[in-house]
Structure 1
Amino acid sequence: MKVVRILVCIMLLLFPFLSAHSQNISWYEVAPGVWKGLVGTPETYDLLKAAGAIPNLDGLAKLGKAEFPLPQQLIAASLNDGKTQLRIPLLKGEQLYGFGLNFQTVHQRGKILELHVDHYGGKDNGRTHAPTPFYISSNGYGVFINSARYIKVWAGTGVRKDSENFPVPKDRNTDKTWSSRPYADAVEILVPAAGVEIYVFAGPKPLDAIKRYNLFNGGGYLPPRWGLGFTQRVMTRSTVADVEKEVATFAEKGYPLDFVGLEPGWQSKAYPGTFTWDNNRFPNPQRFVSDMLNKGIRLNLWLNPYVSPDAPFYKEILPLTSSHTVWLGAIPDLTLAKARGIFFSQLQQDQVAIGISGYKIDEVDGYDHYLWPDVATFPSGLSAEQMRQTYGLLMQRYSADLFKKRNQRTFGLVRASNGGGTSFPYVLYNDYYNHEDFITALINSGFAGVLWTPEVRASKTGEEWLRRFQSNVFSPMAMINAWSSGTKPWSYPEVEKQVKTFALLRMQMMPYWYTEFAKYHFEGTPPFRAMNLEAGFNQEPKKEMSGTINLEENPYAEAISKEIKDQYMAGEYLLVAPMFAGQLTRKVVLPKGRWYDFYNGAFVGDGEVLIVNPGLDKIPVYVKDGGIIPMMPPMLHAPKVGEKADLEFRYYGEKMGTYRLYDDDGETFNYEKGQYSWREIKVQRTATGIKGTISAPEKNKPNTIGKITWTLMTK
């Protein structure tokens, strides 16, 4: 390290133009394993301030202390042309993950990106719904840039002539090892501001750094139980009668349903919106909402925040809006308390107060020709760029407050988020509809501190419909978004039986999903995450598990040299490998350790590359050795507050299994006052089967567990 310091000093002497602009970085440990670095004069408005993120200090303390994971003296900063340049060292063996919600790639080293809130346009270039300026290194640390600006990133692409790791130039004419992309030893970042906050999160493992990042942003959101049930969004101009018929048909056919989404037609006018009910389609909203709640159905309302001249508060809010419009609607400056008061009071009085359970917040992302231009002005004085980067955060934050004040949890949809938004009750979605890319986005969501749903809308064939539906069940929000198509779960008769089986499976698995989201909240562990975060993933295989393809013909090296972007971990124990339309077989890469078939408990392999042919009835899902999956009966609605559900604990494998099952009332924020419990589950094999135990319920704590049964899946 002493040699490195000497080299740095020599570089500065050789290149005095660097020292003229270089900046000291002042580092402060702000939580265990979390450091903040200050460069120049950071702007007063940033991502964390926009989100109002409050660190979960208890959770961070439980992760324990750690050493600063990088050589601080090699993290460099400089100010040039009113912009901040950052340079963070990068070793040859490192891979990078993150930089927002990407759809086509998991490995980010070698990318050049501009992190810019936008509707995803089919290319991983930084323009996306959640361009979170946070990245993870395979060496076990994370870096977050707390700026509400369009941030440019060169993720190991630029080679400085003064680099101590400068590669040896090669002759392309004679040397076959010549590369058009030589090794670069840094991540370089350009922030268009005269200062910035930079945060570093220690590991020691990549997943530990992600946990620290999530907890620093408040921890993941814990949805109400009904939010993890099944969702149907109805067609745009649906009426009371249409919704009532749809709800009744779900019940008659025995399909689960917990909340229904109403699209723009619930408003008297939309694009821009009035935020008031349409009297023809919904003549008595309060009665309608009450009737739905009595049937166990919550209602979720679509909106975008652009105010029609026909809105009842238009004149009052107009002075507090931008110079430009969106679809000719006024854009409230949500950084102003007065503007928020006017806008959200309408939502509170007209919707939340009568029992509406949540929102779908649309069009806060882009494209550029939809949203305001960068030359727009806002009465707060914030730039159009800063508003673009944070408008999704602001809408999430202040709409969530409406429900928090009522001690009522919500769960909804949003089109844009960013750093700081981990604790918000929203799942991202978009209009891009590539199934394979949806799964890659689900994987990348775990690096970005957001949630993503590979929603189902419509399909060309029954096979495609089933494949989309199956993977949707293993995601944060199981949803059909039929706003345009009117599609139902049973719309493809040839696969209706399988679709219903998976819809009910979603409900059966609710205790598992609910516990995994509790871990997201209390411990920072993403409920859906990449394979490289799973222990034992990069091992050598024992053999290729296929009757027709051997290791020599299909080497494991080929499987792992390319990024794994079509399989993922779901919770503590499950590995999910979706099938896509037209696929008869697929490759599944198992981490080291014994794995078992989710459906029948059979042993499938230990570190192998599987070639599987599951048929149409299921997609490959595997459980690690000792896995315990809590299941409940396939109810058509999530359990109500105080309602007990019988639980079946399914055990897989050979070694002793342990699991911590979370419990609370399922709907309120009383868990923040200590009204929750973790029940310790243990299972071990015996000569005749298994022996399972569960810790006693805690006195004066919620207990929603009814009768308990134990099932040995691996015979």
Structure 2
Amino acid sequence: MSAHNQTVTIELLEDEYWWGGRTADGGSMPYGPALFQADMTGNHNGNQAAPLLISSKGRYLWSGGPFHFRFEDGYLTAHGAGELITGEGHGSLKGVFQQVSRTYFPPAGGIPEELLFTAPQYNLWIELQYEPTQEKVIAYAKSVLEHGLPPGVLMIDDSWHEPYGNWTFHYGRFPDPKAMVEELHALGFQVMLWVCPFISPDSPAFRELEPRGILLKDSSGRTALRKWWNGYSAVLDCTNPAAVEWIQERLDTLQRNYGIDGFKLDAGDAEFYAPDDLSYAPATPSGHSEAWARAGLKYKLNEYRACWKLAGQPLVQRLKDKRHDWGAEGLGALIPDGLAQGLLGYAYTCPDMIGGGEIGSFTSAKIDPELFVRYAQCSALFPMMQFSAAPWRVLDETHLRYCVEAAGLHASFGPEILELARHASRTGEPILRHMAYEFPEEGLEMIKDQFMLGSSTLVAPVVEKGRRERRVIFPKGTWSGDDGSVVEGPDVLNIEVPLGRLPYYRKL
């Protein structure tokens, strides 16, 4: 088969459903019943992506590079510059996932930092935005403990530093970072710093790096300046080993000098690169996204939001920033996108920040306490959960208590989640799983509002405003509920879900 401009057309089978492509299209999955198309060649929709489609009938489509695909009128058509490889005969969604995982992205072994799974995370983005200070960071951490939340990983987000690329603490905001980190460690936290591949023009880092030729060049051979959410910047060319060595040296210095535990490696989106950019090694925009993600493999405590391929690697993949609302851009996206992540091979998934991480919607909208609680509950039995907006600031005592209970539930499941992470490191299997993954013969492909944590815990969060009851679909087996009930499946029940309840059921 030719490796150039290849097109593949697949006739869909009866009752065949497909998943894959881009994490942030989770709400449109499964594909097949309706018209859907996506182009992964330069747009990953702000989140992880992979050149993979898999079906409930044990079929798959894989490519080494990005491709465009379309579902319409009973056919899947894909077109890409690389070879498009198809396979079939793998039985079920689980069977085909295990096949492609072994073949194309086998698990690398090892997991990210254990504390990410066993305790909530605390990202300071919503609270401090572009004005973090040493004093504010310490105050947030102490407030976590004062309000009965367990210590976990604390992430200091944008603007802890001098200009982008000058990865040194801003002296005015952080006069004694070593003392700050030591105090946070004593309180039980691990500390992450936000970084990105951008380099501010006219900064000391830019003046150092441009003559070395390790910044990305545009098609004319000039240093590329790219517009991103914080203006215009040059970009590290991470296809160049010297660029990777440079950024890792800066991060290693922060660990060595201040005791920093790890890094949130933000940006790296394919959209920030052009197909005709000139780089050390030829790469597509997706390839540049992959190169930035590879730079973080050195660090056990990490987080990514944008990623291409690299499924099976011990990288934390957070869902992209969600809005502070109930719909498909907010809470309603957490489960479908989390399921999509797992089926793309990204096992170490983290939902977005509780309440929403999309700063514009969060600051302009009136806080909805019910929404905040349901965000926390939906996140509680994901592999990870992450607070940002301080619940003690935005909630009354009752709603705060429900969030503290959700955090406690996550911590109580911590040993089990950690064991599932270790299982993923050996097998590649998702931690958060689609119902159809575990129960392939029961017609569960269209379920998007409940999930399995591993193979034995069914989780059914409430994701609609005002709901005090919800419908739960139980597969075959005996299920023991958080409320003490016992259900014999298969069955469909309407259950009561007062605001303080996250329904979950153990398979006996």
Corresponding residue of 1:548: none
CA distance in 2, matches of 1:290, 1:531: 44
CA distance in 2, matches of 1:439, 1:577: 10
1:493 aligned to 2:397?
yes
Corresponding residue of 1:467: 374
Alignment of 1:162-181 (within 5 A): 181=73
Deviation at 1:608, TM superposition (A): 1.0
Deviation at 1:595, TM superposition (A): 1.4
Corresponding residue of 1:253: 147
Instruction: Give the letter for the 1:390 counterpart.
Output: G
Deviation at 1:502, TM superposition (A): 1.5
CA distance in 1, matches of 2:257, 2:454: 35
Identity among equivalent pairs (%): 20
Deviation at 1:372, TM superposition (A): 4.0
The correspondence for 1:224, drawn from 95, 113, 120, is 113
Deviation at 1:489, TM superposition (A): 7.7
Deviation at 1:614, TM superposition (A): 1.7
Corresponding residue of 2:13: 91
Counterpart of 1:466 in 2: which secondary structure?
helix
Go from structure 1 to structure 2 and tell me whether the alpha carbon gap of 1:488 and 1:455 turns closer, same or farther (over 3 Å shift).
same
1:414 aligned to 2:299?
no
1:108 aligned to 2:31?
yes
Instruction: Give the letter for the 1:212 counterpart.
Output: Q
Corresponding residue of 2:437: 533
Q: Deviations over 1:460-497 (max 9, x none)?
A: 32211111101111112210133xxx554873323122
Deviation at 1:418, TM superposition (A): 2.1
Higher helix share: 2
Corresponding residue of 1:669: none
Corresponding residue of 1:211: 98
Alignment of 1:541-690 (within 5 A): 563-580=446-463, 581-597=465-481, 599-625=482-508
Go from structure 1 to structure 2 and tell me whether the alpha carbon gap of 1:492 and 1:465 turns closer, same or farther (over 3 Å shift).
farther
Deviation at 1:232, TM superposition (A): 1.1
Instruction: Give the letter for the 1:365 counterpart.
Output: D
The correspondence for 2:339, drawn from 419, 438, 443, is 443
Normalised TM-score (structure 2) = 0.85
CA contact (8 A) 2:193 2:262 kept: yes
Corresponding residue of 1:705: none
Corresponding residue of 1:283: 175
Instruction: Give the letter for the 1:198 counterpart.
Output: I
Deviation at 1:536, TM superposition (A): 6.1
The correspondence for 1:233, drawn from 103, 106, 123, is 123
Corresponding residue of 1:355: 259
Normalised TM-score (structure 1) = 0.61
Deviation at 1:567, TM superposition (A): 0.8
CA distance in 2, matches of 1:111, 1:227: 35
Q: Deviations over 1:570-617 (max 9, x none)?
A: 1121111110222122111111222120x2442133111111122111
CA distance in 2, matches of 1:310, 1:283: 24
Go from structure 1 to structure 2 and tell me whether the alpha carbon gap of 1:197 and 1:373 turns closer, same or farther (over 3 Å shift).
closer
Deviation at 1:98, TM superposition (A): 2.0
Corresponding residue of 1:265: 159
Deviates more, 1:333-342 or 1:425-434: 425-434
Instruction: Give the letter for the 2:336 counterpart.
Output: T
Instruction: Give the letter for the 1:222 counterpart.
Output: I
CA distance in 2, matches of 1:568, 1:537: 16
Deviation at 1:423, TM superposition (A): 0.9
CA contact (8 A) 1:214 1:524 kept: yes
Name the structure, 1 or 2, with higher relative contact order (CA <8 Å, separation 6+).
Answer: 2
Instruction: Give the letter for the 2:317 counterpart.
Output: V
Alignment of 1:186-201 (within 5 A): 187-191=76-80, 193=81, 195-196=82-83, 198=85, 200=87
Deviation at 1:438, TM superposition (A): 1.7
Corresponding residue of 2:294: 397
Instruction: Give the letter for the 1:618 counterpart.
Output: R
CA distance in 1, matches of 2:28, 2:123: 29
CA distance in 1, matches of 2:167, 2:89: 45
Corresponding residue of 1:325: 225
Corresponding residue of 2:52: 134
Go from structure 1 to structure 2 and tell me whether the alpha carbon gap of 1:105 and 1:197 turns closer, same or farther (over 3 Å shift).
closer
CA contact (8 A) 2:68 2:79 kept: yes
Deviation at 1:393, TM superposition (A): 2.3
CA distance in 2, matches of 1:153, 1:536: 25
Q: Deviations over 1:33-75 (max 9, x none)?
A: xxxxxx334xxxxxxxxxxxxxxxxxxxxxxxxxxxxxxxxxx
Corresponding residue of 1:51: none
Deviation at 1:286, TM superposition (A): 2.4
Q: Deviations over 1:606-638 (max 9, x none)?
A: 11111112211112211112xxxxxxxxxxxxx
CA contact (8 A) 2:353 2:388 kept: yes
Instruction: Give the letter for the 1:380 counterpart.
Output: Y
1:343 aligned to 2:240?
no
Deviation at 1:358, TM superposition (A): 1.9
Instruction: Give the letter for the 1:227 counterpart.
Output: L
Go from structure 1 to structure 2 and tell me whether the alpha carbon gap of 1:214 and 1:463 turns closer, same or farther (over 3 Å shift).
same
Corresponding residue of 1:313: 205
Go from structure 1 to structure 2 and tell me whether the alpha carbon gap of 1:117 and 1:297 turns closer, same or farther (over 3 Å shift).
farther
Deviation at 1:203, TM superposition (A): 2.9
Corresponding residue of 1:510: 414
Corresponding residue of 1:428: 318
Go from structure 1 to structure 2 and tell me whether the alpha carbon gap of 1:373 and 1:393 turns closer, same or farther (over 3 Å shift).
closer
Go from structure 1 to structure 2 and tell me whether the alpha carbon gap of 1:490 and 1:356 turns closer, same or farther (over 3 Å shift).
same
Deviation at 1:226, TM superposition (A): 0.8
Deviation at 1:153, TM superposition (A): 1.0
Counterpart of 2:70 in 1: which secondary structure?
strand
CA distance in 2, matches of 1:328, 1:400: 27
Corresponding residue of 2:326: none
Deviation at 1:239, TM superposition (A): 1.4
Go from structure 1 to structure 2 and tell me whether the alpha carbon gap of 1:480 and 1:116 turns closer, same or farther (over 3 Å shift).
farther
CA contact (8 A) 1:455 1:478 kept: yes
Instruction: Give the letter for the 2:142 counterpart.
Output: A
Deviation at 1:312, TM superposition (A): 4.1
Instruction: Give the letter for the 1:262 counterpart.
Output: I
Counterpart of 2:27 in 1: which secondary structure?
coil
Instruction: Give the letter for the 2:69 counterpart.
Output: V
CA contact (8 A) 1:454 1:475 kept: no
Q: Deviations over 1:268-291 (max 9, x none)?
A: 23xx44221101111222232233
1:378 aligned to 2:278?
yes
Go from structure 1 to structure 2 and tell me whether the alpha carbon gap of 1:342 and 1:199 turns closer, same or farther (over 3 Å shift).
farther
Deviation at 1:257, TM superposition (A): 1.8
Go from structure 1 to structure 2 and tell me whether the alpha carbon gap of 1:287 and 1:392 turns closer, same or farther (over 3 Å shift).
farther
The correspondence for 1:453, drawn from 346, 351, 355, is 351
Go from structure 1 to structure 2 and tell me whether the alpha carbon gap of 1:93 and 1:244 turns closer, same or farther (over 3 Å shift).
closer
Deviation at 1:348, TM superposition (A): 1.6
CA contact (8 A) 2:165 2:205 kept: no
Corresponding residue of 1:153: 69
Deviation at 1:421, TM superposition (A): 3.2
Please list every run of 5 or more consecutive structure 1 residues that lacks an aligned counterpart in the other structure. 1-38, 42-81, 121-127, 158-180, 404-408, 540-559, 626-715
Please list every run of 5 or more consecutive structure 2 residues that lacks an aligned counterpart in the other structure. 219-223, 324-329, 357-365
Deviation at 1:296, TM superposition (A): 1.9
Counterpart of 1:40 in 2: which secondary structure?
coil
